[in-house]
Structure 1
Amino acid sequence: MPTLPHKKTPPADSLATIANVLLAAFIIATLYLGRELLVPLALATLLTFMLTPLVNRLQRWVGRIGAVLFVVVTIFAGTLGAGWVLTHQAVDLANQIPNYKENIRTKLKSIKVPEGGPFSKISEMVEELKKDLPDLETQSSSPKAAGDSAEPPPLPVKVVSGKNQERMQLVQVILSPILGPLGTASLVLLLLIFMLLQREDLRNRFIRLIGQGRISTTTRAMDDAGSRVSKYLVMQLVVNVTYGIPVAIGLYFIGVPNAILWGALATVLRFIPYVGPWVAAAFPVLLSLAVSPDWMVPLMTISLFIVLELLSNNVMEPWLYGSSTGVTPIALIVAALFWTWLWGPVGLVLATPLTVCLVVMGRHIPRLAFLSVALSDEQPLTPAEDFYHRVHRSGDHDGMEMVDTYLKSNPLSSLFDSVLVPVVASSEADYREGILEAEQLEYIQTGVADILDDLELRVTPPTTPPDPSAPLVCCIPAKGLRDQLAGNMLAQLVRQSGRVVENASSKMTSGELVGWVWDMEARVACVSVVAPSTVIHARYLCTKLRATVPDLKIIVGLWGAVEKSSDSLRVLRESGADEVFSTLTEAATRISELVPAPPPQGSQLP
């Protein structure tokens, strides 16, 4: 097949592309440089989305201020309580880890790696560890011998100014890692309170600022984003809690220490898409290897996480979510990498909600439609567009594969109206604009014709020759091969109801077409019109048909027309057309009503 010609890009489009790239770079730079301010703002906004339904319910009884304070105090108290419990669990774990040295030594000794091959390095490393482990006991039992063989190295002496400076340095080292997150959490809490109290005012100001002249669109976008993000966060929290509680209970009965700590960690890390659950499972699995003298506890721990993950993914999430977030899995992974690069671990947690907001913006703002195409789980191409790009591929036509897939869930009439007719019209439009060459247009039309021939062999069952006296339906192309292809589609639909149909060739002149209809003694004639064929071509044929065969029922099919204008209908009716349709399905149904089904050949009429 010939390659597609390259269409020159206008200078204005090139400048617009450059401007969009510069704008995207500016936005990314702003997000990165302003992360200290934007991260607390994003966290507070998402928490506002999540808590708004609860506040709306409580304010019916205690008012808005009471509802906000109750929700915030409850969350704050719950966070402090959970932090206190988890801190004790972590301290207890740190104190118990040295007691598991013997179990680790036993498991290392039990590992047998075959020598040679790709695992030779691993085998050598394991053997060295095995040799080193007994020496620890020897060294600990004879410290004097080791001390006699070598003199201890001299210790460096450092002069300090005083105890007060040491204390200040110690306080600085201890508090520096704590003050940053603590300040961010305080700012998020403060923003959350005021956003919950003033959410209606903030909403109105945002609509006034962004939606000038587009208040309806902005309102729909905000409602869509709010409902999607709120539903996602609430349902994700429910799913995570229903996942973390069984983890804690299961690990407790298996015998893994600090089960509450690992259950809480699994609940939190599950907010991270795809990777979080397995990171959460790694810690208790490694701990089970240390605490157990055999392999039963680690195997039971691994089995617990696999079973819970299967139940959560296949039962809990479909039941609670009902529908997806509207984002493709690959988009979620890319978004997680992008937001982690911008905002660190917090960006990883916020990746999914922020991506959902971007998808909603792409659906409602035309200039941001590329976000919806790139990130949403909607089909990027319509069936007609998908088929159109398939028939451009080099080699044999592979459109039949898509046709078979489409017919599994759609009727043949939908295939013709929604896929093949738009493909024929699009190829003709592209040829007129110079995007396609004549050879490429012929290639596409040949592919569609081959598919129609294949469908006719498969869909139309073999029958005995039709009765010559049966009423006949004639399909007439208005101008070109495109109209003939549409007539072939209509003929296949009408034949399914048992009617006798003939389709004329587009190579016949208008006079030959009229004479052919007269010779056929047809009862119904359908003039097929596919753009760029126009009403003028159909009007000319209708006039000649009405003058030659006065009793003929004439139907005009403006296939693929978005709407039938009143002027077009008036012109066609004045030229002799009885009815006008825009879909093959409607025309086939009407023809079946106008033409009675012929009796089986050889049967006698009563």
Structure 2
Amino acid sequence: MKAEPAASGAGIADEPDPRAEARADTHLMRSLLVGIFVFMTVYALYFARAFFMPVILAFLLALTLTPIVRLLRKRGIPEVVSATLLVLLSICVFASAGYLLSGPVIDLLNNTSSIGQQLTERLAQLRRPLERITQISHQVEQMTQTSQEPGIQKVAVAQSGILSAAASNILSAGTGLTIIFVLSLFLLASGTMFYEKIIQSFASLSEKKRAMRVVYDVEREISHYLLTVAIINAGLGTVIGLGLWALGMPNPLVWGVAAALLNFLPYVGALMTIVLVAIMALISFDTISYALLAPAFVLLCDIVEGQFVTPMVVGRRLEINAVAIFIAIAFWSWLWGFVGALMAVPLLVVVKVFCDHFDGLSHVGNFLAAQQTVVVVEEPTEEGGKAPA
């Protein structure tokens, strides 16, 4: 007589819970919406890069110069004046660098074929095992050329519109630079207006305080990081340029600027700088032993900067693991080319700082961090005290 209620209870337990199914459906729908949102965001960033690229660069430039504007405001200089002076100084630096680098860079691009030939000649002793293969390829090429009928003419298709394409690229680059500098000027001159608008969007006083703390902490950390890294990279480029000039390397200004820019790409940028300097040194100096001094000096500077200067100045808190760095560089270089690759790590730092300030995104910030944060949990002991777990 008592088994029937138990059996009926078991049958009720086996029935599906409508609330659990509703939660599962809601979770699935939320995941699908997030996936669609991410896909559409990547789609928009790729096809609207002419708009998003200068806008994001303007925000990064404004964040880089924000600590200087705040420091000058404490000294009594209005934000509009300091922002205008800093943006004008940035324009002058960019224009001067472009003017000084245009000639050597154009010469290097025009002489790429001769540079490759000279490099091949310098490395002749290292390619002796491949000489037989090279001779065979030349013989096959000669046989192919002699086997052609005399009546057949080669037709070369000339590309049209080269001048118009170059003019279009120059116009788009000028438009992008104008957007970057003008928008960064407005962002710097506006001061705390955007932060106040964000805080005013919250209702309660506690939410306003929390939003104010998060916004100012994020802005301070990102601005400090970008400005510090920019100064470190500029110093690294200066040291490398002066050292290569002392070694007699041609165009040391080009390699100093290249080292400063490529150092925004951790690991990859330093390797690219060393390889480029090694190639130019091999074709510029008479002996290979002396030519190896230039890339060795660049390697030494990169080791000192990466292992001592940057960790000591920036600190370990904003270090990012190498896997995330390589994924970010590959993604942004596919999305926006070389400019996107240079922006990859600063944008990754921005994402990490935002994730560290929100509990729901803490797992993302933990994944991006170079080392996992160890949290010490205190447990009560028998005597009533607390001991670390």
Q: By how many angstroms is 1:74 displaced?
A: 0.8
Bigger shift: residues 310-319 or 24-33: 24-33
Partner residue of 1:184 out of 176, 180, 185: 176
Of residues 35, 50, 72, the one that matches 1:58 is 72
CA contact (8 A) 2:274 2:299 kept: no
Give the letter for the 1:46 counterpart.
L
Question: Contact 1:93–1:258 (CA<8 Å) still a contact in 2?
Answer: no
Q: 1:154 to 1:269 in 2, by over 3 A?
A: same
Native 8 Å contact 1:235 1:321 kept in 2: yes
Does 1:333 pair with 2:338? no
Q: Any idea what the Cα deviations from partners look like across 1:490-540, whole Å, max 9, x if unmatched? A: xxxxxxxxxxxxxxxxxxxxxxxxxxxxxxxxxxxxxx5xxxxxxxxxxxx
Give 1:78's match in structure 2, choosing from 64, 86, 93. 93
Deviations 1:38-59 (A, max 9, x none): 3332221121111112223334
Q: Is the 8 A contact 1:288 1:301 kept in 2?
A: yes
Structure 2 SS opposite 1:199 = coil
Question: Cα distance 1:376–1:220, how it changes in 2: closer, same or farther (>3 A)?
Answer: farther
Within 1, Cα distance between the matches of 2:268 and 2:178?
29
The residue type paired with residue 187 of structure 2 is M
Q: Is structure 2 residue 275 aligned with structure 1 residue 282? A: yes
Alpha-carbon shift at residue 260 of structure 1 (Å):
0.9
**Rounded Cα–Cα distance in structure 1 between residues aligned with 2:273 and 2:24:** 48
Question: Residue 58 of structure 2 corresponds to which residue in structure 1?
Answer: 44
Measured after TM superposition, the shift of residue 20 of structure 1 is 4.2
Which amino acid in the other structure matches residue 186 of structure 2?
F
CA gap 1:183/1:131 in 2 versus in 1, 3 angstroms: same
Question: What residue is the counterpart of 2:163 in the other structure?
Answer: 171
* Amino acid in structure 2 at the alignment position of 1:178: I
1:253–1:152: structure 2 CA closer, same or farther, 3 Å change rule? farther
1:132 CA drift (Å): 8.2
1:21 to 31, 34, 55: 31
The SS at the match of 2:366 is: helix
Q: In the alignment, which residue of structure 1 is the partner of 2:209?
A: 216
Judge conservation of contact 1:41–1:191 (CA < 8 Å) in 2: yes
Q: 1:270 Cα deviation (Å)?
A: 0.7
Name the aligned partner's letter for residue 353 of structure 1.
Answer: P
Q: Does structure 1 residue 203 correspond to structure 2 residue 195?
A: yes
Q: In structure 1, what is the Cα distance between the partners aligned to 2:372 and 2:102? A: 47
The residue aligned with 1:92 is: 107
Deviation at 1:61, TM superposition (A): 4.9
User: Contact conserved, 2:278 with 2:294, CA < 8 A, in 1?
Assistant: yes
- 2:13 aligns to what? none
Residue type at the aligned position of 1:18? L
Matches within 5 A, 1:512-591: 581-583=384-386
Percent identity of paired positions between Structure 1 and Structure 2 = 21
Matches within 5 A, 1:362-381: 362-377=355-370, 379=372
1:299 and 2:292 are equivalent in the alignment: yes
Task: Assess if the C-alpha contact under 8 Å between 2:55 and 2:183 holds in 1.
Answer: yes
Distance 1:260 1:327, change over 3 A: same
User: Which letter does structure 2 place at the counterpart of 1:154?
Assistant: Q
Cα separation, 2, equivalents of 1:359 and 1:297: 44
Q: Per the alignment, do residues 326 and 27 of structure 1 end up closer, same or farther by CA in structure 2, a change over 3 Å counting?
A: farther
Per the normalisation by structure 1, the TM-score is 0.52
State which of 100, 107, 126 in structure 1 corresponds to 2:122. Answer: 107
Structure 2 distance, partners of 1:127, 1:256, is: 34
Paired position in structure 2 for 1:194: 186
Q: CA deviation at 1:284?
A: 1.8
Name the SS of the counterpart of 2:153 in structure 1: coil
How far apart are the structure 2 equivalents of 1:77 and 1:54?
Answer: 17
5+ residue gaps in structure 1? Answer: 1-7, 114-122, 134-138, 140-145, 160-165, 385-416, 422-485, 487-527, 529-556, 558-580, 586-606
Residues 370, 303 of structure 1: alpha-carbon distance in 2 compared, 3 angstrom cutoff: same
Residue 72 of structure 2 aligns to a residue whose secondary structure is: helix
- CA deviations on 1:250-302 (whole Å, 9 max, x unpaired) are 22233332111111011011111221111122212112222334312432122
- Name the aligned partner's letter for residue 106 of structure 2: V
Give 1:127's aligned residue.
Answer: 132
Q: Which amino acid aligns with 1:56?
A: R
CA distance in 2 between counterparts of 1:254 and 1:582 reads: 65
Unaligned stretches of 5+ residues in structure 2: 1-16
Amino acid at match of 2:90: I
Q: Structure 1 CA distance, aligned partners of 2:331 and 2:112?
A: 36
Is residue 240 from structure 1 mapped to residue 233 from structure 2 by the alignment? yes
Per the TM alignment, residue 28 of structure 1 is displaced from its structure 2 partner at its CA by 2.1
SS at match of 1:301: helix
Equivalent position amino acid for 2:36 in 1: F
Out of 315, 330, 353, the position equivalent to 2:308 is: 315
Higher helix fraction: Structure 1 or Structure 2? 2
- 2:261 touches 2:342 (CA, 8 Å); kept in 1? no
In the superposition, relative to structure 1, how do residues 326 and 363 fare at CA in structure 2: closer, same or farther (>3 Å)? same
**Distance of aligned partners of 1:313 and 1:156 in 2 relative to their CA distance in 1, 3 Å threshold:** closer
Compute the TM-score of the two structures, normalised by the length of structure 2: 0.78
Could you say if the C-alpha distance between residues 94 and 105 of structure 1 is closer, same or farther in structure 2, counting changes exceeding 3 Å?
A: same
Task: Kindly state the Cα deviation for residue 66 of structure 1 after the two structures are TM-superposed.
Answer: 1.9
Contact 1:248 1:260 in 2 (8 A): yes
Provide closer, same or farther for how the CA distance between residues 208 and 337 of structure 1 changes in structure 2, counting only shifts above 3 A. farther
Match of 1:591 in 2: none
SS at match of 2:192: helix
Q: Greater shift after overlay, 178-187 or 328-337? A: 328-337
Which of residues 257, 260, 264 is equivalent to 1:267?
260
Change in Cα spacing, 1:16 to 1:326, as seen in structure 2 (3 Å) is farther
Note closer, same or farther for the CA distance 1:47–1:94 as it changes in structure 2 (3 Å cut). closer
